[in-house]
Structure 1
Amino acid sequence: MKVVFDFGGVVFRWRPEVLMRQCLPTRVQSREDATLWAARFFQHDAGDWGEFDRGAVDADELVERVARRTGLSREEVQRVVDAVPDELEPIAPTLALIGRIKEAGHRLYFLSNMPAPYAAELRRRHRFLEWFDDGVFSSEVRLIKPDPSIFQTALQRFRAQPRDCVFLDDHPRNVEVARELGWQAVHFVDAAQAALALEDLGVLRTPRAS
């Protein structure tokens, strides 16, 4: 079986509301402010940020676009953009889950919406990415989830059939599209829940009680 991981929110921490509080303290005074600014800034992976994910705009152009659209200063936008790599910290329970999957003899892949600068930074910082046989970053193929084309591109890249892939993602729409295309897919909430789902699919064995 080929197990395919999303990255942000699954393998790596992704807390946009926390990022807003840290980077825009004068504008974000409450949890509600953080939620509104996160949605406005990142546009739920659409708009300007979606084009950044797609590799259609670089970081400098992104900063200009977001500043014009939101009314934030260029310095404020740049602060958020620069802070993202430090937010993308590995999630320890997910790494343990990946280890179990690898030990069970399955092959590991990733399929992630990720702007080019962050993709390069993840590869530079994290040696455990060598556990993955291959992967697709959106910015490298100029496609983003949930576009079905990126799933087809991944299948070609991984030399796989949909039925042979299990996909884990924290965004329900991405999971729905994968299933519509014939993939097995798990809506990832946390590593413990995902492990149970993978046991149900036969990817992992239920640990024996001691």
Structure 2
Amino acid sequence: MRRIQNVIFDLGNVLVKFRPDEYLLSLFDDAELVDRLHRAVFSGPEWFMLDRGVITQEQAVERLIKQHPDLASEITLTFADWFNILKPISPNVEVVRSLKSSGYNLYVLSNFHKAAFEFICEKYDWFSLFDGLVISYQHQVLKPEPAIYQILLASCALIPEECVFIDDSLANLAGASEFGIKGIHYQSPDQLRLELNYILK
């Protein structure tokens, strides 16, 4: 059995917090409005088009306002400052630093918008610790579509049996498993450390 040499991280809710409900509740004191905005903005097709890199944030706002004209000001406000909800999950960033100092190769495989990804890359210096980054908008493909795993393996010259992938989505882990990549279903910092210690020992 091959030894794990490469650790692949998702971003959202693994290395950076992504809690849109909390963000919306900080803006609007109306549970029904928050629910409508969550469904329209964060669960609608435009969000996935942003992840796929086929529209810009400005185009997404324009499309959403056309669909929900009664929410025009709320949609504009929601998009105005949402990048700032992307805060590091500090214990997991420390795991990244520890793995790097132990000699592991580190990668990111994530569904993410262009502008948001550029924002966090510029803001957080620990992105320099990664040996490779495969982000959905760069390739117009999303996890768990097979092509994104093929791109990761080919562009980073990885052997699947030497990799472990950490993601909070079982569907994304199942997609990786189809290529022979081991997975850790992320649930908490303590659980992540325990499972990594077991797999890497």
User: TM > 0.5 between the two?
Assistant: yes
Offset of 1:183 from its aligned partner?
A: 0.5
Q: Does 1:20 align with 2:24?
A: yes
Match of 1:6 in 2: 10
Q: Does 1:122 align with 2:120?
A: yes
Match of 2:110 in 1: 112
Offset of 1:168 from its aligned partner?
A: 0.5
Match of 2:31 in 1: 29
TM-score using structure 1 length = 0.86
Q: Deviations over 1:142-169 (max 9, x none)?
A: 1111111111111111110211211111
TM-score using structure 2 length = 0.90
Letter in 2 for 1:41: V
Mapped partners of 2:69, 2:191: distance in 1 = 40
- The alignment-based identity, stated in percent, is 26
Q: Secondary structure at the match of 2:115?
A: helix
Mapped partners of 2:104, 2:80: distance in 1 = 35
Match of 1:154 in 2: 152
Mapped partners of 2:97, 2:157: distance in 1 = 23
Letter in 1 for 2:26: Q
Aligned residue pairs total: 197
Distance 1:36 1:188, change over 3 A: farther
Offset of 1:47 from its aligned partner?
A: 1.4
Q: Does 1:81 align with 2:85?
A: no
Q: Retained in 2: the 8 A contact 1:41–1:70?
A: no
Distance 1:174 1:35, change over 3 A: farther
> What is the 5 A alignment of 1:85-104?
85-104=83-102
Letter in 1 for 2:42: F
Q: Secondary structure at the match of 1:156?
A: helix
Letter in 1 for 2:178: E
Q: Retained in 1: the 8 A contact 2:8–2:163?
A: yes
Q: Deviations over 1:105-134 (max 9, x none)?
A: 111110111111111111211111101111
Q: Retained in 2: the 8 A contact 1:110–1:136?
A: yes
Mapped partners of 2:34, 2:180: distance in 1 = 37
Q: Secondary structure at the match of 1:9?
A: coil
Offset of 1:189 from its aligned partner?
A: 0.8
Distance 1:196 1:142, change over 3 A: same
Deviating more after overlay: 76-85 vs 136-145:
76-85
Offset of 1:61 from its aligned partner?
A: 1.0
Match of 1:67 in 2: 65
Match of 1:53 in 2: 51
Letter in 2 for 1:2: N
Q: Retained in 2: the 8 A contact 1:108–1:133?
A: yes
**Unpaired segments ≥5 residues, structure 2:** none
Match of 1:42 in 2: 42
